[in-house]
Amino acid sequence: MTSIEKVPEVIRKMFDNIASKYDINNEIISLGMQKGIKEAAVRELTLRDNLQILDLFTGTGDIVQLLLNSNYTLRPVGVDFSPNMLEVARKKMPNTTFILSDAAELPFSNNMFDIITMSFGLRNAYDYKKIISEAYRVLEYNGELMHLDFSGGNSLMAEIFETVEKFIIKKQIQNSSPYEYLLKSKKTFIPPQKLIKEFEAAGFKLKKQKKFLLGIISLQIFEKPKTD
């Protein structure tokens, strides 16, 4: 991936441009599977009433919506640096707090959240190490962090899925270049085993991991262990 593509302003503008069609295009490209996978990922969290939850890279708020629809009374806050993506989220959930911020510089004090979620975002970030350390800073001790994204790499399944996605993007999506970028970014981001090491280097401990779609998508749940 070239450095141009990781310039924050370029990434932000790209998401601003696709915001109004993001939800419908996501459904089309994933053949309707992405919501179910996000739902299954959220089910892996240790939820209880009144948890303060931060959803980084919230986009149009899918994860926030799933948290609000859970069996618990939760207080999710969504953060994203694309105003247009947040506008879509706010329209869907007018009573929920969505904050415009770069995930690399969070406007929160230390240990503020019980849970942090990130879905399909970290691989688009220009400075993922800084974001992991910011997430560590604002997460409470013993709190959980959920990371969900494509596993990257060149497995046969990933290749087959990508061929189908490319076909759908070409046939169904009008402005296809942002999606071509997104396909490329999932191939070139570091693989889950390396990513786990980055989280561990920041102080997190891996609690569990799960694969979806025969390993095309990976979920990791980390915790921030209490230090004496």
Ligand X SMILES: C[S@@+](CC[C@H](N)C(=O)[O-])C[C@H]1O[C@@H](n2cnc3c(N)ncnc32)[C@H](O)[C@@H]1O
Q: By C-beta, is 63 or 228 nearer to ligand X?
A: 63
* Of 7-15, 108-116, 150-158, 213-221: span binding ligand X (CB under 6 A): 7-15
Least Cβ distance, residue 226 to ligand X (angstroms) = 28
Taking alpha carbons only, the member of 152, 151, 182, 149 closest to residue 165 is: 182
How far apart CA 38 and CA 15 sit, in angstroms, is: 20
Task: Fill in the per-residue mask, 121 to 150: x = in contact with ligand X (CB under 6 A), - = not in contact.
Answer: x--xx-------------------------
How many C-alpha atoms does 189 have within 13 Å on its Cβ side?
29
How far apart CA 123 and CA 128 sit, in angstroms, is: 7
- Can you tell me which of 28, 104, 183, 190 binds ligand X, judged by CB under 6 A? 104
Both tokens assigned to 69: 């629809």
* Of 113-121, 169-177, 185-193, 200-208: span binding ligand X (CB under 6 A): 113-121
Q: Is 106 in the site for ligand X (CB under 6 A)?
A: no
Distances (CA, A) of 62 to 47, 58, 118, 197, 204: 17, 7, 11, 27, 25
Encode 137-151: b = buried (16+ Cβ within 10 Å), e = exposed: bbbbeebbbbbbbbb
Q: By C-beta, is 101 or 111 nearer to ligand X?
A: 101
Q: Is 11 in the site for ligand X (CB under 6 A)?
A: yes
Q: Is 120 in the site for ligand X (CB under 6 A)?
A: yes
What's the burial of 24, exposed, middle or buried (CB within 10 Å: 0-12/13-18/19+)?
exposed
Give residues 39-58 in contact with ligand X (rule: CB under 6 A): 57-58
- Can you tell me which of 51, 54, 68, 80 binds ligand X, judged by CB under 6 A? 80
Both tokens assigned to 19: 């915001």
Note the residues at the interface with ligand X (CB under 6 A): 8, 11-12, 15, 57-59, 62-63, 80-82, 85, 102-104, 119-121, 124-125
